[in-house]
Structure 1
């Protein structure tokens, strides 16, 4: 097994005036470099960052551009804001539509430039726009969809969080890691954990946590959660050590999954690597997040979000529950639903 999606690089760019558009573009260029995109794809990333950031300046408040890059050659750009929302999404998506002068054709330009595009908006509450460049067809498996966001500590240039996803047949394995503390040392621990997860097929969640524990003993350590969905058996197996939250729906109000206190890398007793399990039948939704996200978000605050890419829900949770003083990661795993055409 290898982690077909492995995300450890992220940027969080506030965008409230034109002087910050340059920083948004620079982040997209850096992400394209991490993802090893070619010159043409890099230019598309820069175009998307320019247009998305310009839209935030002209039309939104509280806007931020969240950029991440995965090692399998995908750059993801997501804008989040707190209003005013888009009254008529269909009209806003028309090619060439704009309410003020801006580069290209607004959101229509973004949709054409992106490999994958989505938009979620609630009047008076805000908008999320998702644009991805890269091999989107490699980021899924029959019956399960995955999306996430990752941002570093606001004072750091590297993220101590990260996540990886692997598919093998009907089995999906997701790993979310939070390196202890912040900065390069936390990033080293995060990467060591993801490297262990990517070395072989995972059939025993508790065993993988033990192997990560052993591998991290020369690092400062990490918290981590491993979620494995067996689509054939319709079963979720989950193991967690440290401050990573797992919340499973249904039921509508969500069920918190077992997480054992501790730090991987500190030599935890083998019996502490306990696992939780639950049925996985459609509709099923699992949200994983590190402690840079508080637990006060509510799924019912995002009506019809199940019709959008799972990264849209991850971004909404980040927007509304980000603590602002830590690395932050949100990963959403779910059975597919009908989506709005974009």
Structure 2
């Protein structure tokens, strides 16, 4: 699975709801959803956008093609929050009856639905649609957020997820700059990622490094989680951040400075560079966060108590909301041990 198509829409008045609906429709068509699922995406986007206008401050609707066969719609705001998010999610009994009823309708229509809210801080609502969206969680749960540069429609960032036996591989790519040429570099990197997910992290990064010599280049990082050995390995180049959180411990996974694809010759003159491999134990409970430099490092999962009981894309959206620079493409991905498989 790779995620490269996304929309980030400010929703502050009724006139912006139509744009949110149109983005959801475009995402559904790009994901290959059937007409009924396209209509579901449109209804969800309309309802969530309308809720942002009527009940929230600083509302944004984030829409992405979450691989073939799935669309992700995330509503993010900065307040006022919902007093009892669990009640509003289940049956709509909130002080604002239209808000509760609308969220309950979204819950019924979505293949996956989740909501996190803290009074005074804001709310994140996640809805996913499509046959791939309903897939059960594996031993590692995963979710992510991706948004384009505010002046571009082409997304220069992207991320990918692949399983090979008990090993999960995550790739995060930030094409140099933004716009179409950044998207071309990102796409070249993710195509290699899809072809060679079984390659070790450093080896895969070396292959991407050579592939990108004919593009403007990119920053990227590859993390692999081995379920058998309970080990995480990480290799990166450029401004893609990796941080691993375990009880009482937070570890920064250091990328090598530089740009993938830069400094190479062409053809026989191309020479792959060595890339440093960082290893760490993957012991439950564990949370891995990776993000591009469209997001600052000024965030802390501890600011969002209880978020670990929600879909990983919820924490990704909270980090995105709190640390977004606002002048670049941005990606945040979260992987964590799964409670359903006895690992958390």
The TM tier, using the shorter chain, reads over 0.9
Aligned to 2:26: 30
CA offset digits 1:39-77 (Å, max 9, x no partner): 100000000000000111111101100111033211000
1:66 paired residue among 59, 62, 75:
62
Q: CA deviation at 1:158?
A: 1.1
Whether the 8 Å CA contact 1:95–1:109 is kept in 2: the answer is no
Whether the 8 Å CA contact 2:188–2:212 is kept in 1: the answer is yes
**What is the alpha-carbon distance in structure 2 between the residues aligned to residue 272 and residue 131 of structure 1?**
41
Is the aligned partner of 1:154 residue 2:156?
Answer: no
2:306 paired residue among 300, 304, 307:
304
1:40 paired residue among 26, 36, 43:
36
Aligned to 1:136: 133
Q: CA deviation at 1:90?
A: 3.4
**What is the alpha-carbon distance in structure 2 between the residues aligned to residue 228 and residue 188 of structure 1?**
24
Is the aligned partner of 1:13 residue 2:9?
Answer: yes
**What is the alpha-carbon distance in structure 2 between the residues aligned to residue 43 and residue 139 of structure 1?**
24
1:116 paired residue among 112, 118, 122:
112
Is the aligned partner of 1:227 residue 2:223?
Answer: yes
- Structure 2 CA distance for partners of 1:29 and 1:98, relative to 1, 3 Å: farther
**What is the alpha-carbon distance in structure 1 between the residues aligned to residue 118 and residue 248 of structure 2?**
21
- Structure 2 CA distance for partners of 1:50 and 1:104, relative to 1, 3 Å: farther
**What is the alpha-carbon distance in structure 2 between the residues aligned to residue 274 and residue 96 of structure 1?**
51
Q: CA deviation at 1:200?
A: 2.7
1:199 paired residue among 173, 176, 195:
195
**What is the alpha-carbon distance in structure 2 between the residues aligned to residue 174 and residue 138 of structure 1?**
18
Q: CA deviation at 1:204?
A: 1.7
Extract unaligned runs of 5+ from structure 1: none
Question: 5 Å matches for 1:1-342?
Answer: 5-95=1-91, 105-134=101-130, 135-138=132-135, 140-141=137-138, 143-252=139-248, 254-267=250-263, 270=272, 272-337=274-339
Task: Tell me the TM-score normalised to structure 1 length.
Answer: 0.93
**What is the alpha-carbon distance in structure 1 between the residues aligned to residue 311 and residue 223 of structure 2?**
19
Equivalent residue of 1:159, what SS? coil
Q: CA deviation at 1:103?
A: 9.6
**What is the alpha-carbon distance in structure 2 between the residues aligned to residue 298 and residue 103 of structure 1?**
29
Equivalent residue of 1:317, what SS? helix
**What is the alpha-carbon distance in structure 2 between the residues aligned to residue 57 and residue 181 of structure 1?**
33
4+ long deviations beyond 3 Å = 94-105, 137-140, 267-272
Extract unaligned runs of 5+ from structure 2: 265-270
Equivalent residue of 2:161, what SS? strand
Whether the 8 Å CA contact 2:51–2:99 is kept in 1: the answer is no
Q: CA deviation at 1:182?
A: 0.4
Equivalent residue of 1:293, what SS? coil
Q: CA deviation at 1:94?
A: 4.6
Task: Tell me the TM-score normalised to structure 2 length.
Answer: 0.93
Equivalent residue of 1:73, what SS? coil
Computed over aligned residues only, the root mean square deviation of the Cα atoms, in angstroms, reads: 1.8
